[in-house]
A and B are shown apart, each in its own frame.
Chain A
Amino acid sequence: MLHGDYGKLAGKPTMKERHKGLLLLLPTVLIMALFTVYPLLDGLRVAFTNKHLLKDTVQYVGLSNFIRLATDDVFWLSLYHSLILTVGAVVLQLILGLILASAMKQDLPGMGVFKSIIMASWVIPVAATVIMFKFMAQPDVGLINIVLKGLGFENLNRYWLGDLDVALPFIMLLHLWRNVPFYGVAFLAAMQAVPKSYYEAAEIDGANAWQQFVTITLPGIRSMIIVMVTIHVLWTFNNFDFVWLATGGGPVNATDVLPVYVYRQSWNSYTIGYGASIGSVMLGLLMIYFVVYMRICERREAR
């Protein structure tokens, strides 16, 4: 699905070689089993216990963690924020990435340099990104407020990440800052693989730039769009760093998202069992997304 057909490419290794081939996979499989599969299964198990970080006794408590969840306002608020953040960030990244790629596709002076530096924001640590934006959001001395003052909006002066209404959109902005160049450059690579003759033919038929974009470019880079969206929905929904480092979930839960709530329940309130139950819900939601999304993509493919 995500890869093509491997059988075609594979040579005809002998039986002996095949065993060696499996041996090559062993280190990876072992590490993934020990540090990914086991922790996940154990995490799911703990979700049904009352495990507490500072207490030795652990009991299975059935569904009581999940029952508690259903009436936990902070959980629902975090879920709501997680959904808004993920959908908002991915949709905006998709649109802005397409715009960026379309601009970079033009053969203009200076574009080469631009293309080679623009992904810098993706490689630097999230902690550094957060500090850069935290500093820019400072009242009085931050760049944002300096610029606003220069434009005559002195009354807007505030700590932007501390504002109840602005904090969550600001976090979304951080995601955009990090990811949009990656989208742009990836879409550009896919666009350049679309045969030029398609566009020439469309030009002769009198299709304008927008029509060409919709009927040739978009279908041409479809599989890249699918991959980028899939990966980023998972990465954004599971992302802990941005919110934790920028606001810790505040001010007053205004930026609480599920990963941060799980972390707080587990490591600050020590209620690991309850934290794990929230994590399990996250996993469940992502699995639903994954299955539904893949179904839709496959159905489209079949058409």
Chain B
Amino acid sequence: MRSKTTNRIITAILSYLVVVTALMFFIMPMLWIIYTSFRTQASIFTGKVIPPLSEFTLDNYTTILSVTDYAQYFVNSFRIAASVTVLSLLCSITGAYALSRFDFKGKNALIMGIFSTQMFPQVLMIIPMYLIIFSLSLLDKTIGVVLGQMVLVLPFQIWMLTGYFDNIPADIDESARIDGCGIFQRLLYVILPVGAPGVMVAGFFSFVVSWGDYLIVSIINQSQRTATVTLVIQRLSSALLIRWGQVAAATVLTIVPTIILFSFVQNRLVEGLTAGAVKGE
């Protein structure tokens, strides 16, 4: 029989082996694209991993920011993602609160219905969606894309926030109700402060989904002027002659906002995302 200490050492070695492999696999591609973004085209094409210092440059970034309209696309993306975040939070906070605290006929069917929309193929819905947005004359407009992207985030957001609110004891808003607080006061002064971490994760989720969306924005915003960063890096990377250094720089600029936001929520992310699943254990 092996002793307990040997067992523990073996476990530690195996765990670190998993961790190191995971780091190489999951983090290295990101580091590699960052590294590439600082190299000249000629340097990248030598196929060397460590080139001489003189082959590093900031030109890729200056070119992307001055020669192309990347800054404009960045603003477009930001405006869309921020709007989706605010609007979807308004809907999902109120909706989840209603689902969590009120009883009414057909509630479970409604929850199931909202969840099952995750099953609907986007590519099937995008045509009628395009026609609706067209008939509202909202093509190539921020609000058109925002409405289209809302349905990407709402079901999951509601599912997650309902689970999160369910974990907040009903006593606290019940006592606020007895004290004469209306629904909106309770939501604003009782539920939101206590549920802030969950709401933050829900907001983060809708921002990154909107920021990363390709399909909807590619259908609704077809003109160059209203393109977003995902469309632009896709176009840059499918050019006939790909300037990999510039593509890398644009890609890094596209990733940075999501990583910055991620650093704010990282520790709460999973707790928030899985609130709906952990509940009821």
Chain A residues in contact with chain B, CB under 8 A?
A: 1-7, 9-11, 13, 17-18, 20-22, 24-25, 27-29, 31-32, 34-40, 42-44, 46, 99-100, 102-104, 106, 108, 110-111, 114, 116-121, 123-136, 138, 140-141, 143, 145-146, 149, 177, 180-182, 184-186, 188-190, 193, 209, 223-224, 227-228, 231, 234-235, 238, 240-241, 244-245, 258-259, 262-263, 266-267, 272, 275-276, 279-280, 282-283, 286-287, 290
Q: Report which of A22, A38, A103, A282 forms a contact with B132, defined as CB distance below 8 A.
A: A38
Knowing A31-B150, A43-B128 touch, does A123 contact B119 (C-beta < 8 A)?
A: no
B250 to chain A, nearest CB (A): 9
The majority secondary structure among interface residues of chain A is: helix
Q: Choose the segment among B52-60, B65-73, B270-278 that binds chain A (4+ C-beta atoms closer than 8 Å).
A: B270-278
Say whether B212 contacts A125, CB under 8 Å: yes
Identity of the chain B residue whose Cβ is nearest the Cβ of A31 in the assembled complex? B150
Identity of the chain A residue whose Cβ is nearest the Cβ of B125 in the assembled complex? A39
Say whether B94 contacts A24, CB under 8 Å: yes
- C-alpha gap A42/B251 in the complex (Å): 37
19 residue pairs from A and B, CB less than 8 Å apart: A2-B276, A6-B99, A11-B177, A21-B98, A27-B94, A36-B125, A43-B124, A103-B16, A118-B27, A124-B212, A128-B233, A141-B244, A182-B273, A224-B274, A224-B277, A258-B121, A272-B127, A282-B124, A290-B119
Say whether B230 contacts A125, CB under 8 Å: yes
Say whether B166 contacts A3, CB under 8 Å: yes
Say whether A132 contacts B16, CB under 8 Å: no
Say whether A39 contacts B129, CB under 8 Å: yes
Given the complex, which residues of A lie within 8 Å of B270, measured CB to CB?
Answer: 119, 182, 185-186, 188-189
Given the complex, which residues of A lie within 8 Å of B211, measured CB to CB?
Answer: 125
Knowing A100-B22, A132-B251, A136-B29 touch, does A35 contact B129 (C-beta < 8 A)?
A: yes
- C-alpha gap A259/B103 in the complex (Å): 38
Say whether B214 contacts A241, CB under 8 Å: yes
Say whether B103 contacts A6, CB under 8 Å: yes
- C-alpha gap A36/B115 in the complex (Å): 12
A14 to chain B, nearest CB (A): 9
Q: Using an 8 Å CB-CB cutoff, how does the interface string of B235-275 with A read, 1 for contact, 0 for none?
A: 00100000010011001001100110110001101110110
- C-alpha gap A282/B36 in the complex (Å): 39
Q: Using an 8 Å CB-CB cutoff, how does the interface string of B198-209 with A read, 1 for contact, 0 for none?
A: 000000000010
Say whether A131 contacts B233, CB under 8 Å: yes
Say whether B279 contacts A4, CB under 8 Å: yes
Say whether B121 contacts A193, CB under 8 Å: no
List residues of B (97-128) whose CB comes within 8 Å of A's CBs: 97-104, 107, 110-112, 114-128
The majority secondary structure among interface residues of chain B is: helix
- C-alpha gap A34/B148 in the complex (Å): 10
Given the complex, which residues of B lie within 8 Å of A124, measured CB to CB?
Answer: 30, 208, 212, 254-255, 258-259
- C-alpha gap A163/B129 in the complex (Å): 36
Knowing A28-B91, A143-B32, A290-B116 touch, does A120 contact B262 (C-beta < 8 A)?
A: yes
Q: Report which of B162, B214, B278 forms a contact with A189, defined as CB distance below 8 A.
A: B278
Say whether B158 contacts A118, CB under 8 Å: no
- C-alpha gap A9/B164 in the complex (Å): 12
Q: Report which of B122, B162, B255, B278 forms a contact with A224, defined as CB distance below 8 A.
A: B278
Q: Is B18 close to A, CB under 8 A?
A: yes
Q: Using an 8 Å CB-CB cutoff, how does the interface string of B1-40 with A read, 1 for contact, 0 for none?
A: 0000001000110111011001101110110110010000
- C-alpha gap A20/B97 in the complex (Å): 11
Sort A-B residue pairs by CB-CB distance and give the 6 closest, nearest first: A279-B124, A4-B280, A125-B212, A21-B102, A103-B18, A39-B125
B142 to chain A, nearest CB (A): 16
Say whether B99 contacts A118, CB under 8 Å: no
- C-alpha gap A241/B101 in the complex (Å): 37
Q: Report which of A4, A13, A240 forms a contact with B122, defined as CB distance below 8 A.
A: A240
